[in-house]
Structure 1
């Protein structure tokens, strides 16, 4: 087996990645001139694997060659330290800003902070402490936090207070390092505690910390409440991070009902300099589908 094939086939086995090297993706191949995007759209690993394979370094180089200036990786905390360091160096060399990774607290529905149980809080705070070390290693600023499910036996006001108190503890860990946990309201299940932007806004105001802000996921919030521009405007002073996905389908912009060109124009006019994570799948398979994603972003970014 050729070494290049071996590297690609074993890049993601048992949590270990290939670290690139002499056989990694050659970013100086003949490529179109990189696109100059108006906003910092952040792809994730796997989005362009049919172009360059599974190696994370090759994928990062490909993203940079296409003009993307940011990257996000929900699973960064679970990657080997050597892989994290290699990815961080590649991002630094290629001018890519690190976006969110998820604080490891046991899954979206697990260890709900709404319950107020010390064992759940301890798991959350341990994840926050470990996240600080990962953030330093990969030059990250934002980390996603999902508080968990409802605690149905408790009044909603008590649940709100429990979540706020737990998040205050987490903010105390992040604040000295200038890091920000971003709370993500989700539409995946009616059992999830955090679902709407106004609710998340209230929680952030209650925590009252620069280290606790909103992750406004446009796909999820289109499903739960709609009125995207209006609701973003109402909660704008607490929004620190944005994620993307069209609805229905959670694929790239232009495949669903959301007028992303207008939404992105509004975000740009608000002076947003943060990252917009491309947390969605590809609507088509193979290289054709990957190119369709790139072309879609060029189209909706053309709002000037």
Structure 2
């Protein structure tokens, strides 16, 4: 090949590579900027979900999430943060007009929160944890706290255990109700020792407690693992649902990575008139920035039911 033709060929190839890189970069930018419009439902991101784009600081992740169209957060570990961190997060949410979803009731583990036992010391700790939750909620402008009643007490009949849980929660709602704070009871699928496992079980407890400060946290990942039938079950208990969480199954990642048809579920929840936060309590299926972009895309696809 003559030198002139070689130079021309090299220049053309270089230009093609540059153009390809630029197009790829522009496509990524477009996918981010196009995501800035708010979603139909109010999905709440969590700490670490966008760390590859925004860094380890949760406040910066919140700002990034806002730019992608998300208008809420949830933070299970909020109660363990310093009061200064809590205030900084609350100020950021207020400035951006974003909502705060749930945080987990402070200070108690599943086995330490075994309300089914009816033991006085455990109930006292539970009441104290509700009082702590009030202080956290005030600092972060939140009205929702996740409560897990803990494990079964295998030495007691199930009816007695249920009665013990109801009585303990009544005492907890007496602390929360004057402040307009709602404890949302979460049925879980993590292990067979957990007392609260299904939405209908939580429903019966909420009805017995009879307080606006006791509702169901309807986590569809756990519902799918325990029993499936997500939409019909949702309809049966909907008047006691105070909050939703999501995660596809298997894998507990974003919608579209498992077997759950979240587009239909989101359409159903929207049609029911739900205006609250839907917590994104799941991981990212992909790694790095690409995984985060894929997550954003997945939410746009699942939310495109209008």
Tell me if structure 2 keeps the 8 A contact 1:246–1:252: yes
1:52 and 1:62 in contact (8 A); partners too: yes
Aligned counterpart in structure 1 of residue 48 of structure 2, from 32, 37, 46: 46
After the TM superposition, which parts of structure 1 deviate over 2 Å for at least 4 consecutive aligned residues? Answer: 108-111
Task: Report the CA distance between 1:35 and its aligned residue.
Answer: 2.4
Q: Would you say how many aligned residue pairs link Structure 1 and Structure 2?
A: 276
Equivalent position to 2:120, from 118, 121, 132: 118
Instruction: Measure the CA separation in 2 of the matches of 1:173 and 1:162.
Output: 18
CA distance in 1, matches of 2:98, 2:111: 31
Distance in structure 2 (CA, Å) of the matches to 1:210 and 1:57: 31
Which among 47, 59, 62 is matched to residue 61 of structure 2? 59
Give the aligned partner of residue 291 of structure 2: 289
> In the alignment, which residue of structure 1 is the partner of 2:33?
32
One of 84, 88, 96 as aligned partner of 2:98: 96
| Corresponding position of 2:17 | none
User: What's 1:218 paired with?
Assistant: 220
5+ residue gaps, structure 2, are 1-28
Q: What is the CA distance between 1:104 and its match in structure 2? A: 1.7
CA displacement, residues 121-168 of structure 1 (integer Å, 9 cap, x when unaligned): 111111100100110110101100000000000000000000000000
Residue equivalent to 2:181: 179
CA distance, structure 2, for counterparts of residue 274 and residue 109 of structure 1:
30
Quote the offset at 1:262 in angstroms. Answer: 0.2
User: How far apart, in 1, do the equivalents of 2:226 and 2:304 lie?
Assistant: 28
- 1:216-255 to 2 correspondences below 5 Å: 216-255=218-257
Query: Of 189, 192, 195, which aligns to 1:193?
Result: 195
Q: 2-side partners of 1:239 and 1:56: how far apart?
A: 28
Alignment gaps of 5+ in structure 1: 1-28
Once the 2 structures are TM-superposed, how far is the Cα of residue 107 of structure 1 from its aligned partner? 1.6
How far, CA to CA, are the matches of 2:39 and 2:110 in structure 1? Answer: 32
Larger fraction in helix: 2
TM-score in terms of structure 2 length: 0.89
Matching residue of 2:266:
264
Match of 2:7 in 1: none
Q: Whole-Å Cα distance in 2 between the matches of residues 64 and 278 of structure 1?
A: 14
Task: Say which one has the larger Rg.
Answer: 2
- SS of the aligned residue for 2:113 comes to coil
Query: In the alignment, which residue of structure 1 is the partner of 2:140?
Result: 138
Mapped to 2, the partners of 1:105 and 1:93 lie a distance apart of 29
| Match among 211, 227, 240 for residue 209 of structure 1 | 211
Separation of aligned partners in 2, 1:88 and 1:261 = 31
